[in-house]
Amino acid sequence: MLFVGINPGMRSAAIGHHFAGYSNRFWKLLSDSALVPERIGTEQDVRLPEWDLGITNLVRRATPGIDSLRSYEYRAGVEALRRKVRRLKPAVVALVGVSLYRVIFQGKGPIALGLQRVTFERARVFVLPNPSGRNANFTYVEMLSAFSALAALIGRVRARGIPESAARAVKARRRSGRPRDTA
């Protein structure tokens, strides 16, 4: 599974790790939802491949918020993400934030959290709430419910297994010492 954020915040860029804002609840939600079996923090983001998870951003440029991002950055980011997903072949792409879903699928109006009817380069699409402390749209309980639903989906996907071609690609990446795209 691949988590996708919009872009790094200033603290994430400064320390070189994802979801590093002091009020960001991403890492707590990962463990509280059982997506990972132990509590990890932003500095351990490189461990996500241990649990067949990856993490990336749509736009590489760090900003204090998304207001300064330009439409051309989003368009270029969507194309880069398409190539990444085709190469990595995750079963699920988890979009961290409703705004990200709107950018990628040009959606308007209310977007429900959870599994979507659309796919992205053959991967199932799951929308999570943005865990930033600045996001007042969802309570922690609502966020945890969405992350827990994702954990349940991932459990079902793992129970069915992954296609042999994808399994070979994962093993080759592990042998090469090259981590999955976590940056």
pLDDT digits (tens, 9 = 90+) for 35-67: 999 999 999 999 999 999 999 999 998 787 787
Residue-level pLDDT at 182: 53
Domain positions in the chain are 2-176
| pTM of the full structure | 0.84
- AA identity, residue 48: L
Q: What is the largest CA-CA distance in the chain?
A: 45
Q: Which of 47, 132, 108, 121 is nearest to 81 (CA)?
A: 121
Secondary structure (H, E, C), 47-101: HHHHHCCEEEECCCCCCCCHHHCCHHHHHHHHHHHHHHHHHHCCCEEEEECHHHH
Helix axes 98-105, 71-88, angle to 10 degrees: 90
The model's pLDDT over 105-154, given as tens digits with 9 standing for 90+, comes to 987 778 899 999 999 999 999 999 999 877 778 999 999 999 999 999 99
Which CATH number, 3.40.50.300, 3.40.50.12500, 3.40.470.10, 3.40.50.720, labels domain 2-176? 3.40.470.10
| Cβ count within 10 A of residue 73 | 18
CB atoms within 10 A of CB 134: 11
132: nearest Cα among 18, 7, 23 = 23
Q: State phi, psi for 102 to the nearest 5 degrees.
A: -60, -40
